[in-house]
Amino acid sequence: MEPVSLQDFVCALDPASLPRVLRVCSGVYFQGSIYEISGNECCLSTGDLIKVTHVRLQKVVCENPGTGQTTELTPNFQGHFSSLTGPQSYGTLEELVYAATQSSKLLPIRFMSTHRITTKARVVPEEQPLKLEAVEMHDGTCCARCVLDSGAQQVLLHLPLSQQGPFWKLEPGPPRTLLQVLQDPALRAALLTCSAFPWRSLTLMPQYEVEAIMHLRRTVVKIPSTLEVDVEDVTASSQHIHFIQPLLLSEALARGGPFPLATEILEVPEGSPSFLSPWLSSLQKGQRLCLHGVASPPWRFLASTRGRKVPRHFMISSAYRGKLRRRPREFPTAYDLLGAFHPGQPLRVVTTKDCEGDELENLGFASLAVGDRLEVLGSGQALGQHEKDTDVLVCQRLGEQTGEEEAGEDEEVEDQEQILLPLYFSGGFVEELSDARRYSLQDLTAQFSLPCEVKVVAKDPRHPADPLPSFPGLQLEEKILEPFLVVSLDSDPEMCFEIPPRWLDLTVAEVEELPGQPSGPLPTATVEELTEAFYYRLRKLPAFESQAPPPRPPKSKGLSEQKKQMSKEKGVKPTLQLLTRPQYAKIPASALHASQSFCQERSSSFQTPGQGSTPVQFLDREDLLEKE
């Protein structure tokens, strides 16, 4: 076909013939925006191919041809239109008379002109209907005898056949809706009338939005039909052309299929890698993939190795079938102990560091020695020597464990005492644990809260290369809900893995179905090692950001200032009063004097050689000046 304007092509287009492939014959460029204006494409280059898939009516411009006044109609306009004229206009009265005599319809006929006609008798306004009764000689000139009906009277006019138009033959038709008028090719350029407007006649100019596919455009292109571009229909010669439409993995996940979906990688996102997996190097441009669907279940667990100077980080699927055994948890501070405590679940620990309660930063708190056994009871507040409330952890000191259970229980009850530890207390604690059961990952996380220390004692039987059993310990840190896509390689269909589109959003294109894809359950890897950068990126997720930081310990005073403060108090033993919990309102005397007796025992062990029980004295600079 010959090139036509896009507007003419769309107006004459039969929607049933879509899709159509068009070639741009003359491009267009708008300086205001390189890509689009108001969401519509405004730049097409000569030679571009576009595949029109849908045409949508946006609005209809209604114009008065006499005054040029316009108004816009919506596609759901409810008014009705009637045609005033035939589909053709005539340049002179002679052409109109010749067409009338050649047709089966005889005179008289009704017609009108879109321009004003001036005669000796009077002036005929534009669009004024006239009735042509006959052709006769008048004053030696061949004229058309016409009658002007002005309402009150009829005026006879003789118009020469050479009278210039344009003239339109009036052929009133039945009322039609707006969409019926636009779908009738004979009425596209006809003059119409509508009772909703005060105009004698009007014309309609529809404006469409063309939805099309273009090469390497990820979304459907929207083009206004009024764009000043010429196109040519090349559908017949373009059957072999395949329009490549990019697709993000996140979009494939959002639309939910259909799966399996054969694709080819067009682009790999830039940036540091997220996984330390062998399949990651295969994700290159041109590699063909098969998307099998959404992985189930969607839960993943973050885990880090223990007992290594440089920890390694893993993401473990909920489908992991290895066996795990609980390991004693380690708690560096009392705040960590409080975070792991849950009412109704006993938490017993053993201290791994000596701590003197009369140290200058912990005045009034209990002392701990290596091997002390504690049971966490809860949290509270204590009133210290400076009349300030301090958040504390309430524990119960337990007696030594013995082989005789009954006698041990009686002795333990007698030796129990309640002690208070500030939450900023940085000691060392290890959980007392006697659980030797082997758990599945789902059972373990259902019964115990995270974080949880475990040892993988049996690898996943479906994956011989499971790396987790080789580590002495593993900490399950957090549970993450994130959808993954199950993917396999065209070059190696047996290599199946799971990709999170949120963090590895490949750009792919749909291709023909890949042969040789496995059927049945897919053996996907359930353990993926993470890079350190990606691991800490995950730790910045909102679920982690909501965790409150541990309390900051109080600032330490200078040694001389603290000694002056102690000299003022002159042996007054600081005491603590537990607040907000009535059952701990009164601290036992053994807890109040524990730090004093412990310090006396410790100081007696430091003796100067050869001098018996003379204790070592530590002098600061001010003491030396006083002695001098």
Segment 86-118, tens digit of pLDDT: 667 788 999 888 888 777 667 788 888 878 888
Q: What does residue 314 show for φ and ψ, rounded to 5 degrees?
A: -135, 155
State the pLDDT at residue 58: 92
Domain count, the chain: 4
628 is a domain residue: no
Mean pLDDT throughout 581-588? 40
Instruction: Name the least confident of 161-165, 209-213, 522-526.
Output: 522-526
Range of the domain at 23: 4-80+177-233
Specify whether 516 is located in the same domain as 390.
no
Check residues 582 and 219 and name the one with the higher pLDDT: 219
Whether residue 25 contacts residue 231, with contact meaning beta carbons closer than 8 Å, is answered with yes
Tell me what the mean pLDDT of segment 157-167 comes to: 88
Which one of 126, 146, 170 terminates a domain?
170
Q: Is the domain of 200 the same as that of 277?
A: no
Does 252 map to a domain? yes
- Give the chain's mean pLDDT: 77
Residue 308 forms part of a structural domain: no
Whether residue 412 has pLDDT greater than 50: no
Give the DSSP H/E element, type plus range, for residue 374.
strand 373-383
Strand, coil or helix: what is 358? Answer: coil
Phi, psi of 84 (to 5 degrees): -95, -30
Residue 205's pLDDT band, with cuts at 50, 70 and 90, is very high
What DSSP element (H or E) covers 193? strand 192-194
166 and 191 assigned to the same domain: no
pLDDT above 70 covers a percentage of the chain that reads: 75
Q: In this structure, is residue 325 part of a structural domain? A: no
How high is the pLDDT of residue 29?
A: 56
Across 35-49, 162-176, 515-529, the highest mean pLDDT is recorded for 162-176
149 part of a folded domain: yes
Res. 72: pLDDT tops 90? yes
Beta bridge partners of 454: 326, 474
Q: Does 113 share its domain with 253?
A: no
308/336: higher pLDDT: 336
Neighbouring CB atoms inside 10 A of 535's CB total 19
pLDDT range class, residue 569, cuts 50, 70, 90:
very low
Residue 250: φ, ψ to 5°? -65, -35
Instruction: Tell me the pLDDT tens digit for each residue of 542-567.
Output: 655 555 555 555 554 444 444 455 45
Residue with tokens 């097409």: 44
- For residue 220, the model assigns a pLDDT of 81
pLDDT band at 206 (very low <50, low <70, confident <90, very high): very high
Residues 8 and 75 in one domain: yes
Quick one: 153 and 42 in the same domain? no
pTM of the model: 0.57
Last residue of a domain, one of 133, 148, 170: 170
61 & 196 share domain: yes
Residue 319 is assigned to a structural domain of this protein: no
In angstroms, how far is the first alpha carbon of the chain from the final one?
116
Provide the phi-psi class of 216: left if phi over 0, else alpha when psi is between -120 and 50, else beta. Answer: left
| Mean pLDDT, residues 209-220 taken together | 82
CA distance 314 to 538: 12
User: In a 10 Å sphere around its CB, with 0-12 CB exposed, 13-18 middle and 19+ buried, how is residue 426 labelled?
Assistant: middle
Determine the pLDDT at residue 612.
41
612 domain-assigned: no
